[in-house]
Structure 1
Amino acid sequence: MINLPKDDYSCGWYQALPPAAPVKRLKGVQKADYAVLGAGFAGLAAARRLAEHHPQARILLVDAQRAAEGASGRNSGFVIDLPHKFALEHPDPAHKQKLLGLNRSAIAQLDGLVQRHGIDCQWSAVGKYQGAVGERGEAFLDHFEHLMKDLGEPYRKVEHGELSAVLGTSYYRRAIFTPGGYLMQPAALVRGMAENLPDNVELLEQSPIRSLQQEGGNWRLLGDEGEIQAPTLLLGTSIFTREFGYLKNRLLPVMTFASWTRPLTDAELARYGGQLNWGLTPADHAGTTLRMTADRRILIRNSYKHVPRYGGSINDGMRQRIQADHRQAFLARYPDLAEVPFTHTWGGVYAISRNFTNFFGQLEDGVYASACDNGVGAAWGTISGSLLADLAVGAESAQLRDIQQVTGMPSLNPPEPFLGLGVRSRIALAKWHSRSEL
């Protein structure tokens, strides 16, 4: 039995979009040269690159949901060029430079698509702040500065007064600004890319695949009302890769949550007093991410949950408690906007591994996968999906060699119930340690 995404229709990014075009579902027996499963950043990039390599091939891209309803449309709208979190701690400078090059190649790809197709997604080359609330955050920020110096990347210290003028709050002591990151509306970007696929890529949505079978040199993707038959299958399914029997007991499903406000009125914006269109991530990894969108919404993201049944692990009561935590973080930063309500609270599930290793490569004959983004989905999904297509068609490149050198096998997890107990304990401990930065 395949455990599928369970959409609660709570994602603010998706709900802010205009109605989607009529859906096309998988029906009957469909034969293709390539099948790509998962229409997020990785699957979209893989399908596009396959089409570039083989413009006469039939490529079917299939998803259980509508494009942008899944994790790719649920992040906080950052596309980050720097090695992320634990990857930035890697002792080998060459390893980090490869990651940096791969991420920047992904940003260039996305930028080209946005410009070429006129995708209206608040795409902005405005960089990113990394902020500290108190002494714990400042210690992390000092360490981040040290890592940036070692990496040889530009950064700028932003002291309290200048930072307050940007953020519209004096809650943060200081920050470090890095110029290479982009901001965007993730659901709008994903839908825009899905609506502008090459002519030989056919997107099939709301078409869950229940099982995979190999038969006569083809892979059969069995759905509710039809099946796809193709000799080559590319999986852009992240955590759901394990539902098809691959990377079992190696991927951890974690959901992180965000809430946002309605757009501020002119009077509220004047009271806010800061700038529009910026993003701040916490110096302390377990702290709070903060966004002011280009359309005047304030977004708060924190709270992590282990979700072994994905969306099925979350209920309304849990979401209300998470929203209450977000409300507390919002009021600490913006007490003068206490009357501004949250309109949506949502979670997005992603895959992490205990050794913080991304999987990229061939799983068996005719099956390729990029899985376990460790929380860096937009850039990593884009470049890994593109290079997975290169691997599947046998197209060698320096970038393909780079991604093969910086990826590996996620480590095995302990069995349940020890795994769940351990993950929940680690999340609770991190929240307690980081309580001053929330």
Structure 2
Amino acid sequence: MNSPTMHLPHDDHDCGWYGALPSPAPAKRLSGQQQADYAVIGAGFAGLAAARRLAEQKPGARIVLIDAQRVGYGASGRNSGFVIDLPHKMALEHPDPAHKQRLLGLNRAAIDQLQGLVQQHQIDCQWSHAGKYQGAVGPRGLAYLEHFERLMTELGEPFRSVEGDELANVIGTRHYSRAVYTPGCYLMQPAALVRGLADSLPKNVELLEQSPILGLKRDSKGQWLLQGSDGQVRTPSLLLGTSIFTQEFGYLRSRLLPVMTFASWTRPLSQAEMVAIGIQPDWGLTPADHAGTTVRMTQDNRLIIRNTYKHVPRYGKSVNEATREEIRAGHRKALLARYPQLAGVPFTHTWGGVYAISRNFTNFFGELETGVYATACDNGVGAAWGTISGALLADLAVGAESRHLQDIQAVTGMPSRNPPEPLLGLGVRTRIRMAAWNSRSEL
């Protein structure tokens, strides 16, 4: 099945993470008639993890991993480079302590899995156990920060308050009143990481890029037929690591909300500039107020500013160049509020990335219909959640039991149904505007 008006990925050409990588080898594309024991659509964190686990569980099977774009070009290569162990605020507020512990365990299993692969395959992706700061600018942010501290205390997780000279000597600015440091987060270069994961796939996985699947149907023998523009794949088992694009195949329709968030980064700062600002490399700060500004300093001394959310029903096609310029100007304002010394340092790239959220903050994981499995709706924790949910989706498909599989089945469910358009778009846009207005002091 597929949508009569299928919207394919349409990402901008200005992602700094991807642009910093060397050009990849020519893509191998889907062509002709192919048969696979398992097919995986989507070569982001979820699809890569699913294909790898399938290959490990079924070493004699032929696995085909298919992506509409190049690996690292889509959403998995466009985040801010955090692999977060802690659930986000909505999940931390869940009334069941066991639910929160399951989420923590799943996220940390994903980190362990990624760290093992980075080390085993020597993936050059700026992988770093740097921890994470959550920062507050004014009274609104401080109230959120105090709430976060209470949640962390209830969870029994380590954290410490950082302010004054201690904070300024790391992040190079006194813009923030206070921050809370948590030690379990890892930082990385996302496009480099996913490309490295793809380059190190087991030999029984065939990666096909720039090969959008335009439709799905079941043939007379009960196999799934994946139709591309220049070829087909037949398979009895299909795994979807397609996140928001799952709805384009007719599944989870009216249950996922496509949201795009945006980032800009500077050129690498010189050592003299780093010393003059008093800033350290390799750290990340997320806002205590979720609608505020994320700031990252990379290992190669680039400052990243991320804020601004848009509802994008047509994904990248929903954002025009005028909107991108307006967003870039907002990023510039946020940068100079923190680092007025960088008035002469330009942004070299501004990009957006699409992810899926649900109104009830619920992730989907499981079998959609016979032979079709999906993990969708990461709700903003894509690197860790995509990795562990993709691996466990493969376990589900082959019938392999584990404690982590039981845990993910316990904490996932069905995203709630959205109201119809135009009410949905009006409501989402209004909510985003209100959040931005309420959080303007934290931007």
Q: TM-score range by the shorter chain?
A: over 0.9
The question of 1:367 aligning with 2:367 is answered no
Cα distance in 1 for residues equivalent to 2:295 and 2:89 = 17
State how 1:79-228 maps to structure 2 within 5 Å: 79-215=83-219, 216-228=221-233
Letter in 2 for 1:236: G
Q: Deviations over 1:162-183 (max 9, x none)?
A: 1111100110011000000000
Instruction: Kindly state the Cα deviation for residue 2 of structure 1 after the two structures are TM-superposed.
Output: 1.9
Instruction: Kindly state the Cα deviation for residue 291 of structure 1 after the two structures are TM-superposed.
Output: 0.5
Contact 2:266/2:345, CA 8 A, preserved across alignment: yes
- Give the 3-state SS of the residue equivalent to 1:375 in structure 2: coil
Point out where structure 1 has 5 or more consecutive residues left out of the alignment.
none
Instruction: Kindly state the Cα deviation for residue 217 of structure 1 after the two structures are TM-superposed.
Output: 1.7
The residue that corresponds to 1:347 in the other structure is: 352
State how 1:268-307 maps to structure 2 within 5 Å: 268-307=273-312
TM-score between the two structures when normalised by the length of structure 1: 0.99
The question of 1:77 aligning with 2:81 is answered yes
Q: Deviations over 1:350-399 (max 9, x none)?
A: 00000000000000000000000001100000000000000000111111
Moved over 6 A (4+): none
The question of 1:402 aligning with 2:432 is answered no
The residue that corresponds to 1:413 in the other structure is: 418
TM-score between the two structures when normalised by the length of structure 2: 0.98
Cα distance in 2 for residues equivalent to 1:53 and 1:8 = 36
The residue that corresponds to 2:249 in the other structure is: 244
1:20 aligns with one of 15, 18, 24 = 24
Cα distance in 1 for residues equivalent to 2:441 and 2:6 = 40
Q: Deviations over 1:248-287 (max 9, x none)?
A: 0000000000000000122222222111100000000100
The residue that corresponds to 2:270 in the other structure is: 265
Cα distance in 1 for residues equivalent to 2:26 and 2:203 = 18
- Give the 3-state SS of the residue equivalent to 2:292 in structure 1: coil
The residue that corresponds to 2:45 in the other structure is: 41
Cα distance in 1 for residues equivalent to 2:59 and 2:85 = 30
Q: Deviations over 1:47-84 (max 9, x none)?
A: 00000100010000000000000000000000000111
Letter in 2 for 1:39: A
- Give the 3-state SS of the residue equivalent to 2:305 in structure 1: strand
Cα distance in 2 for residues equivalent to 1:390 and 1:294 = 35
Instruction: Kindly state the Cα deviation for residue 160 of structure 1 after the two structures are TM-superposed.
Output: 2.1
Identity of aligned residues (%): 73
- Give the 3-state SS of the residue equivalent to 1:415 in structure 2: coil
Cα distance in 2 for residues equivalent to 1:348 and 1:279 = 18
Instruction: Kindly state the Cα deviation for residue 337 of structure 1 after the two structures are TM-superposed.
Output: 1.1
Cα distance in 1 for residues equivalent to 2:12 and 2:417 = 31
Letter in 1 for 2:415: P
For this pair of structures, how many residues does the alignment match?
A: 438
Instruction: Kindly state the Cα deviation for residue 128 of structure 1 after the two structures are TM-superposed.
Output: 0.2
Q: Deviations over 1:220-256 (max 9, x none)?
A: 1100100110000000000000000000000000000
Cα distance in 2 for residues equivalent to 1:284 and 1:7 = 27
Cα distance in 2 for residues equivalent to 1:24 and 1:10 = 23
Contact 2:274/2:280, CA 8 A, preserved across alignment: no
The residue that corresponds to 1:52 in the other structure is: 56
Point out where structure 2 has 5 or more consecutive residues left out of the alignment.
none
- Give the 3-state SS of the residue equivalent to 1:239 in structure 2: helix
Instruction: Kindly state the Cα deviation for residue 7 of structure 1 after the two structures are TM-superposed.
Output: 2.5
- Give the 3-state SS of the residue equivalent to 1:220 in structure 2: strand
Letter in 1 for 2:427: G
Cα distance in 1 for residues equivalent to 2:249 and 2:14 = 27
Cα distance in 2 for residues equivalent to 1:8 and 1:45 = 25
Cα distance in 2 for residues equivalent to 1:53 and 1:370 = 19
- Give the 3-state SS of the residue equivalent to 2:308 in structure 1: strand
